[in-house]
């Protein structure tokens, strides 16, 4: 490999470490282990009257495919009373809903909760009013409560 190619690869690696995910993706560090974080998320959703549409164990799917993945679970959740009006105003918004969160564990054993701030996306990209997307902004404090030590 040439020095230019090696330099480019090093620059790309450094860039990936500086910004490993899009700006609209928010990553919270959980104060709990993986299984406890998953349990806290599910019980918090239930206690707040939110629907858990899917719990996808992506690491189990990787194992079934003959490969491996760190502990990773994708949750699709929401409240049809909150999301339906957005989809009624703009049917294309359905590609962003329901809300999603990924609970995953890094190589050090630290658990994270990743999600996307859809309130800004739905307002900016889909032309929905701020009052219509405001209920979706509640996902941040909900997930922060799951990740916190309280």
DSSP 91-105: GGGGGT-SEEEEEEE
Q: In whole angstroms, give the CA distance from residue 101 to residue 117.
A: 10
Task: Indicate whether 109 belongs to any domain.
Answer: yes
Task: Indicate whether 3 belongs to any domain.
Answer: no
Task: Name the stretches of the chain with pLDDT < 50.
Answer: 1-17
φ and ψ at residue 45, rounded to 5 degrees: -60, -45
Task: Indicate whether 111 belongs to any domain.
Answer: yes
pLDDT for the residue numbered 117: 84
What are the tokens at 130? 């701020």
pLDDT for the residue numbered 22: 82
Q: What strands, in cross-sheet order, belong to the sheet with 72-78?
A: 25-29, 111-116, 99-105, 72-78, 51-57
pLDDT for the residue numbered 140: 93
Domain of 36: which CATH number? 3.30.310.70
Q: 49 lies in which domain range?
A: 22-147
Which H/E stretch holds residue 53? strand 51-57
Task: Indicate whether 8 belongs to any domain.
Answer: no
For 23, counting Cβ atoms within 10 Å of its Cβ (0-12 exposed, 13-18 middle, 19+ buried), the class is exposed
Bridge partners of residue 72, in order along the sequence: 104
Task: Indicate whether 120 belongs to any domain.
Answer: yes
What are the tokens at 53? 């549409």
Beta carbons of 114 and 99 less than 8 angstroms apart: no
User: What is the total count of domains within the chain?
Assistant: 1
pLDDT for the residue numbered 23: 81
pLDDT for the residue numbered 38: 98
């Amino acid at each position: 490999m040439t020095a230019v190619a090696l330099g480019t690869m090093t620059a790309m690696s450094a860039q990936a470490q500086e910004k490993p995910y899009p700006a609209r993706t928010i990553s919270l560090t959980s104060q709990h282990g993986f299984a406890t974080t998953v349990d806290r998320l599910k019980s918090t959703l239930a206690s707040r009257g939110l629907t858990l549409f899917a719990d996808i164990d992506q690491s189990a799917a990787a194992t079934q495919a003959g490969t491996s993945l760190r502990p990773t679970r994708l949750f699709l959740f929401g409240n049809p009373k909150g999301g339906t009006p957005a989809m009624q105003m703009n049917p294309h918004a359905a590609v962003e809903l329901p809300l999603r969160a990924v609970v995953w564990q890094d190589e050090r054993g630290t658990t994270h909760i990743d999600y996307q701030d859809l309130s800004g996306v739905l307002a900016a990209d889909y032309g929905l009013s701020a009052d219509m997307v405001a209920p979706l902004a509640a996902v941040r404090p909900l997930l922060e409560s799951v990740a916190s030590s309280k």
